[in-house]
Amino acid sequence: MNYGCLPNDDKPTNNLKITSPAQLNTRALSSDCADSLWADVWLDNQVVGKLQRQANGWQGQMKIPRGSHTLKIEFKCITDTYGTLSLAINTQNKNFSTDDTLSLGSSDYQYPDDDNDGSSNLAELEAGTDPSDNQDGGGLNSFKWANPLPQGNSLTDVIWNGSAFLTVGYRGTILTSGNGQSWSVAHSTSTKRLQGIAWSGSQYVVVGVQGTVLTRPANSPDWAIRDPGSNKDLFGITWTGSQFVAVGEEIAITSTDGINWITHTLPKGHLFKSITWTGEQLVAAGLVINKNTHKPEGAIMTSDDGTLWSSPKLTGTASLSDIEWTGSQLIAVGGDQHLSGNNLTPTTQGGLILTSTDGENWQQQDSGTNIDLHTVTFEAASGVIIAAGGSSHLIDRSTPTQSVILSSSDGVNWTTRDSSLNQNYRGLASSPSQTIVIGDAGVIKSSSNLQQWNNHTSGTLNTLNDIVSMGNMLIAVGINGEVLTSQNSRSWASRNSGTSTDLTAIAWTGSMLVTVGGDLGPAQDGPGQAGSNGVILTSPDGINWTDRTPEGVLGLIRDISWTGSQLIAVGSAGLILTSPDGIQWTTQNSGTDRWLNAVSSNNDLIVITGGDHFNQDGVGGTILTSSDGSNWTPINGLDENIDLVDVTWTGSFFTAVGGVFNQELDNASKILTSHDGLNWTTNNPGINSIIEDVYWTGSKLLAVSNTNSALLTSFDGNSWTLSPTPSGNTQNSVVEYQGDTIIVGSNGTILYREN
């Protein structure tokens, strides 16, 4: 391993040579760790550079001043399951004025053991156990769900095995219940999205994305990871009586024991989401790309043994999501109404139900709804077919999610049993006494008659956008005017804010809480006019709220901050508002029509960050500064592809976070730091996700992102450590409170960790 050191004359010496630890070369690292392995180079307790794996070895380049220093080489990797792990460390005192050569053998390294169990992180990674289970910021179990309960990850499938229900979902979620009323979160060995479940009578097999296969025998609580021989996404699985058969993205896999699998490649463009066994043949439902129209179309395939498959039969409909055999006919359901407004799918179709007695000839039935149907099951005891689904529009986000449950005795005539503004329903299962429906945000409902449905998830499902501590209480705010308070980070109470407008941010002045927000609306002329329903509320205690919104049209207000002498609120189309007391507000001229997302300050300078990704015109990278809140100066020379979502002051430097919304350009996450607010240095924390929030605890920076299920931690803004969280939802804000770390996000997510 070689890297160049730059002494004071800035000429590379190119003669500092290091031998990497033999264990890193010989141990079977997990693929995600092996792919993300690097080494931090520390000089006198500060990271001065990184070594990255190159084709001809490990290389990096950094400035090292001459003289005596403490040099530390620390090998690290990032894993999906365990976050950032330190694998091997060497520390030596070295005088760079007299000796520029350093040779390290494997025996010179120490191997960290985060949970102090006598087995190093490297050894536990090889064994597949959690290297940091009992450590601060370690395994998934260090964070716990406070809302919703029992958990808030979306669920995708549910099954009844004759004595118990089991449901699976995002972030490796597995829950079990013996009675359908009380649900327990089971320990999962995977963090991947789990999609389908099958039960053989003695064993569960669960499949998911990226070739995930898990098995669990009836007499064991433990799940084992199996290798299907492919990393293709798997969506549906069934048990034929002699073998398991799973289907997915251009693939089918078969196994007689759930452990050893045979892969069968399907043609390109074939994506099958569900499979059922009729007793004579396997029937899979999904979609293929129509060769004539080049658009996705619903399709059915059949097979006698899971090895040889028929050519797909195009149904001339939208894609199919699930299929079920009733004993006399096949029922397939689907829809693509959620894509309405998409140019690729100009004509959409929801509420799709197809029936067939032989798998070859299909008839479309009138479901009485245009809501997408995601799941169907047959209740053998009553002979009733039940279908459920929902439509959350991906294009028109202002359209609320609608859900529906239907039933039929013959597959032809359908009755609506439940229809509401709710989360998407994704899976159905029935026992002799009740039906269970599961779905997005961890929703679980049960019914004994298909008419009255009991909810087994507690807590709000409204997305929470921000959280703040007022010393003796936490306050979280979110969409639909949601305000929650807590004194212990575990139990939360909903408060009446007096508005149904989305709340985006909240600040504490020391004597008053101020929350802001608004709704997106048609663009109009003038600063802040992209969105017509801005709102400002104040409260002395988090419980009683007063509307302080100025008269006139305001745009969406994205953030608010207290400088010590005034409140600064920022938002859409260059909106800046200032107030000395939260009651009287003045509009300031920002000099820009870009979106302003966040604001922070020190004693001398106010810094606003933003961008313009909402308009998708490729213009971002906005930083404004001011000494008084009235006169603003833009910082030039920023990367126009970066959108800066949040900013904070640490006491010695500003940290701005965000990312690149066009991920084809670069890694999505970006972090900028500046000691003076004028000159900024860009860092990449190494995650492909937009960082939504950054918070200074007094000793370290905490950050969370929109798609990466982790907490980021840094002491200097340059070197970041990832700690995984159990949530697969968007994480919008983070705070520390009375020794706990609390994260809030979409679908009502509230996580807490005892530090």
The predicted model scores a pTM of: 0.83
Report whether pLDDT(363) > 50.
Answer: yes
pLDDT at 193: 96
pLDDT band at 400 (very low <50, low <70, confident <90, very high): low
How do residues 640-666 score in pLDDT, each as one tens digit? 888 999 999 999 999 999 988 765 555
Q: Ramachandran region of residue 669, left (φ > 0), alpha (ψ -120 to 50) or beta?
A: beta
Whether 575 and 622 have beta carbons less than 8 Å apart is answered as no
Judged by average pLDDT, the poorest of 131-145, 201-215, 520-534, 726-740 is 520-534
pLDDT at 64: 75
In the chain, list all ranges with CATH 2.130.10.10.
150-455
More confident residue, 558 or 349: 558
Task: Calculate what percentage of the chain has a pLDDT beyond 70.
Answer: 84
Mean pLDDT within 578-592? 95
Is there a cis peptide before residue 527, judged by omega within 30 degrees of 0?
A: no
Q: pLDDT band at residue 684, thresholds of 50, 70 and 90? A: confident
User: What is the average pLDDT across 143-160?
Assistant: 96
| pLDDT average, residue stretch 11-22 | 56
d(CA 703, CA 697): 11
Confidence of residue 668 (pLDDT cuts 50, 70, 90): confident
Q: How many CA atoms lie within 13 A of 454 on its CB side?
A: 12
Among 586, 619, 587, 592, CA closest to 608: 592
- What pLDDT is attached to residue 101? 58
Locate the DSSP E strands across 44-141: 46-54, 57-59, 61-63, 68-79, 83-95
557-594 burial, b at 16+ Cβ within 10 Å, e below that, comes to bbbbbbbeebbbbbbbbbbbbbbeebeebebbebebbb
Q: Which CATH superfamily is domain 150-455 in?
A: YVTN repeat-like/Quinoprotein amine dehydrogenase (2.130.10.10)
CB 321 within 8 A of CB 375: yes
Paired tokens of 91 = 């520390």
Domain limits, CATH 2.120.10.80, in the chain: 511-729
For residue 273, give both structure tokens.
Answer: 């989401």
Distance in angstroms (rounded) separating the CA atoms of residues 595 and 658: 13
Query: How high is the pLDDT of residue 301?
Result: 97
Do the Cβ atoms of 180 and 165 come closer than 8 Å?
A: yes
Sheet with 38-43: strands ordered across: 57-59, 46-54, 38-43, 68-79, 83-95
Mean pLDDT over 700-705 rounds to: 96
Reported as a single tens digit per residue, the pLDDT across 470-496 is: 999 999 999 999 999 999 999 999 999
Q: Can you give 614-661 as a three-state secondary structure string? A: CCCCCCCCEEEEECCCCCCEECCCCCCCEEEEEEEECCCCEEEEEEEC
Q: How far apart are CA 677 and CA 184, in angstroms?
A: 49
- The pLDDT confidence band at residue 11, using thresholds 50, 70 and 90, is very low
Task: Name 432's Cβ contacts closer than 8 Å, sequence gap at least 6.
Answer: 381
112 pLDDT above the threshold of 60? yes
511-729 — its CATH code? 2.120.10.80
Looking at every residue in the chain, the average pLDDT score rounds to 87
Q: What is the dihedral of CA 587, 588, 591, 592, to 10 degrees?
A: -40
